[in-house]
Amino acid sequence: MSAAQVAHPAVQLAAEGASDHRTLIITLFAVFVVATLGITVWAGRQTKSAADFYAGGRQFTGFQNGLAVSGDYMSAASFLGIAGSIALFGYDGFLYSIGFLVAWLVALLLVAEPLRNSGRYTMGDVLAYRMRQRPVRTAAGASTIVVSIFYLLAQMAGAGVLVSLLLGITSDGGKIAIVALVGLLMIVYVTIGGMKGTTWVQMVKAVLLIAGTLLITFLILLKFHFNISDLLGSAATNSGKGHAFLEPGLKYGATGTSKLDFLSLGIALVLGTAGLPHILIRFYTVPTAKAARKSVNWAIGIIGAFYLMTIVLGFGAAALLKPDDIIASNKAGNTAAPLAALEIGGGAGSTGGAVLLAVISAVAFATILAVVAGLTLASSSSFAHDIYANVIRKGKATEKEEVRAAKWATVAIGIVSIGLGAMARDLNVAGLVALAFAVAASANLPTILYSLFWKRFTTQGALWSIYGGLASSVLLVLFSPVVSSKPSSMFPDVDFAWFPLENPGLISIPLGFLLGWIGSLLSKEEPDKGKYAELEVKSLTGVAAH
């Protein structure tokens, strides 16, 4: 019998703490959902063109977009998964915070401004500028959809864990129903509000998340009299691991394989952000390249402050809760932050604990809804703009038809995500997001960088890079311990894991770059140097940007 199945005191206490104030919890959730639906309907009434639906009419300021970008980036993985990883693995869990933050600098320095200057609505716009439209747009659309679905899995898993904890739902059927509810809400947000509605929801969510995290961070530091040394010492003692809890190697150091896994994870985290479709399309919502740069600067400040606070959340949870209590509630550690909020507020049965648990959980739920809306918008936009309008209809679709196709694609992607999210409900959400980062860095990043900076890059190189990076990363994940062979796997009772690493980045990212290079060198197509020169001027100066 696993720890998750035992009627453990931690689970009972959390359930009691929630059940005593369930009305408050449900009210907070309902207020947020109703408020964001109201924003979505308001924005939907102002969404009249394809530019409104895909890019919010390019009317957002640098600060507004920076807030929305940080709202898009600070997902359930950041809030729930990282805190859980730190609470269970100490220093090794904290590496997620560092990786996610450093990754943003790669996006700023290499991708943000050139992409804003070169495209209209999707990643496919940049690739198709100097290559054959139809095959490249098909590949870009397929890659965007796969990466978005991987990322959606993490959000769906987080939603199931969170609401189950609050409402005392233990049955698999109940958890699946929660995942389905999140999927339905996300479909409504995107189909009605488009990019305008999604951006406003993300801005509201970013403010709520920072405020909620700041409150818990302050209360945890207050309990330890703002003495970081005492906090870390208590966490190390309480973890049962002693000083090893504060040193590298607890998760990624026991064997040669785990060290390679750490290297693979690090590469995927640092390079993944610059290839994430839902982050890339945010650069199209501002009117100028200067505003794009300003929005990234704002995002780095907000995201940096947030990740510093996740360190306090994670080590605070380790100091306040026993590891067995965290694992009993959720074996991947995803409930560490909400349980820490309950404990710091006064414990189970106290009004303060219940209020904090409700507030933090409602904020985390808001986080999930906002991020899934952004992800779904990225993938449905890519399908409608790249595949439907430019491949299927060969550029002859009207704006109205294109937006209609995006809305139907939203429904289809939502249904697929609900099905896969139900299966992934017991996996650590930070780990799931790291997989999405690996797929994005393998398939999207090589192609974007080659398109922007290498004049000999060809259509064949782009196709080899996207499909090769996509296929290798997805295949390696499928045959990794994430899917089978371990108690924490998606299918723990079967074993077809011949690839030993939990993250494929170490193999698939270099392969994506290598295939793009080889494919271009072996191509009989002569690169259009004139088009490359145009793209270079456009990406660096913003001249003639849409």
Phi-psi region of 432 (alpha: psi -120 to 50; beta: other; left: phi over 0): alpha
DSSP assigned state of 409:
H
Cα–Cα distance, 14 to 18 (Å, whole number) = 6
Where b means 16+ CB within 10 Å and e means fewer, 392-405 reads eeeeebeeeebbeb
pLDDT at 76: 67
The gap between the terminal CA atoms of the chain, to the nearest Å, is 59
Cα–Cα distance, 31 to 86 (Å, whole number) = 31
CA-angle at 430, arms to 428 and 344, nearest 5°: 80
pLDDT at 10: 47
Tens digit of pLDDT at every position of the chain (546 positions)? 333 344 445 445 455 545 556 777 778 778 877 887 888 788 777 766 666 666 555 667 778 888 888 887 887 667 788 888 899 888 888 888 888 888 878 877 787 777 777 766 677 777 777 888 889 888 988 888 888 888 887 777 777 777 776 677 777 787 788 888 878 887 887 777 777 777 888 888 888 889 989 999 999 999 999 999 999 999 899 888 888 888 887 877 766 677 888 888 889 888 988 888 777 777 777 777 777 778 878 888 898 899 889 899 999 999 998 888 888 777 777 788 888 888 888 877 777 887 888 888 778 777 777 777 777 877 888 888 778 877 888 777 787 887 888 888 888 888 888 888 777 766 666 677 778 888 899 999 999 899 888 888 899 999 999 999 999 998 998 888 888 777 767 777 888 889 888 889 899 999 999 999 999 999 888 877 788 788 777 777 766 554
Q: Which class for 135: exposed (0-12), middle (13-18), buried (19 or more C-beta within 10 A)?
A: middle
Task: Give yes or no for a contact between 256 and 31, defined as CB atoms under 8 angstroms apart.
Answer: no
pLDDT at 546: 47
* pTM above threshold 0.75: yes
Alpha helices for 273-348 (secondary structure H): 277-280, 289-320, 323-329, 336-344
Whose CA is closest to 371, among 147, 42, 88, 73?
A: 73
Cα–Cα distance, 146 to 378 (Å, whole number) = 11
Task: Give yes or no for a contact between 120 and 404, defined as CB atoms under 8 angstroms apart.
Answer: no
- The token pair that represents 15 in the structure block: 């359930």
Cα–Cα distance, 96 to 270 (Å, whole number) = 10
Instruction: State the CB neighbour count (10 A cutoff) for residue 229.
Output: 8
DSSP assigned state of 426:
T
- The token pair that represents 114 in the structure block: 């050139």
Amino acid identity, position 294: K
